A and B are shown apart, each in its own frame.
Chain A
């Protein structure tokens, strides 16, 4: 492998601050590999992130990056994309960032079908603030704010995005990292809102409280509980309780927002 992932990082900021065994580094690497294969000019790529462990990722990447406020990565990205539709805008969010405080922004970005690629680092917990449960913490799993187990139902963020109108929805894990790279590439090429859920692991705040203290236990859990959607569709596998599907979950075509907006501008100026 002659390609060096370090070409894509601000090396002076490394090593990163994430805990030992944190899956965010693996996703960050896959993202860098995807950017290498996409081969966009560097000054046409913008990476926007919110707040949380995952959102530190933008700071390590040597591109034009914006580290925004909690949950508001998508509104910032929408503004950037509308100001210059030629830019390739990637949005990095965590599960709490995208589904709790930024939940409304997520569904409306999906509804508008604006050409953004959102990568959601789903570690099932608010890791940075000490392990509070997030809307993506599965039922019965423990968190500091749910010491007897989570009693609420969790979101299926892929189905949420699909229902809201996202044109490309995929899910992969840190174990299936080649799939993750491929989904990011295809999502970036999809003209419309693409959402890629990257199931990652938080051994410090989530695994430690849920019987998976070592990072390799958590990766093994992903390996055992991820079911390929192609197999499910072909009837060769079924999704048992607690398992989740991976792969390209949904794709459809719909008018893209920035293009529609540019047409409105033309019409208003009487250029049509």
Chain B
């Protein structure tokens, strides 16, 4: 079963599927506000959630569909 990790940020919820992350670093490079980083195992994690502007670049650049940005209504 896929575990989905939900991270609340001011403008959205970041849903991360760690099991699907291959650690390619594309989302970290794409994020304009340095919200994301790779952890010790090379998987994606949210480090500065409060900086997120919900631009959706991480979601559209992730080749492994491991991130989903659900904007606040």
Contact = CB atoms under 8 A, between A and B. Distances in A.
Interface size class of B (residues with CB under 8 A): 20 to 34
Contacts of A14: 20, 65
Interface string A4-29: 11100100001110111111111001
Nearest to B12: A1
A14 B63 CA distance: 12
A26 B25 contact: no
Contact of B59 (A1, A215, A219): A1
Interface string A31-51: 000000000000000000000
Given A21-B26, A215-B24, A216-B25, A5 B61 contact: no
Q: Which of B30, B56, B61, B71 has the most CB atoms of chain A within a 10 A radius of its CB? A: B61
Given A2-B70, A20-B24, A177 B60 contact: yes
Given A1-B69, A4-B68, A216-B26, A23 B63 contact: yes
Interface string A141-185: 000000000000000000000000000000000000110000000
Interface in B12-37: 19-20, 22-26, 29-30
A25 B29 contact: no
B29 A216 contact: yes
Given A1-B56, A15-B19, A21-B22, A219 B63 contact: no
Which of A5, A24, A215 has most chain B Cβ within 10 Å? A215
B64 A25 contact: yes
Given A203-B24, A215-B24, A215-B63, 14 more contacts: A5-B68, A20-B24, A21-B22, A21-B63, A22-B63, A26-B61, A26-B62, A26-B63, A29-B63, A177-B61, A178-B60, A215-B26, A216-B25, A219-B30
16 contacts: A1-B70, A1-B71, A5-B68, A9-B65, A14-B65, A15-B20, A21-B24, A22-B63, A26-B63, A29-B63, A29-B65, A177-B60, A178-B60, A215-B26, A216-B25, A216-B30
Closest 8 CB pairs of A and B: A25-B63, A21-B24, A20-B22, A216-B29, A20-B24, A15-B20, A215-B24, A26-B63
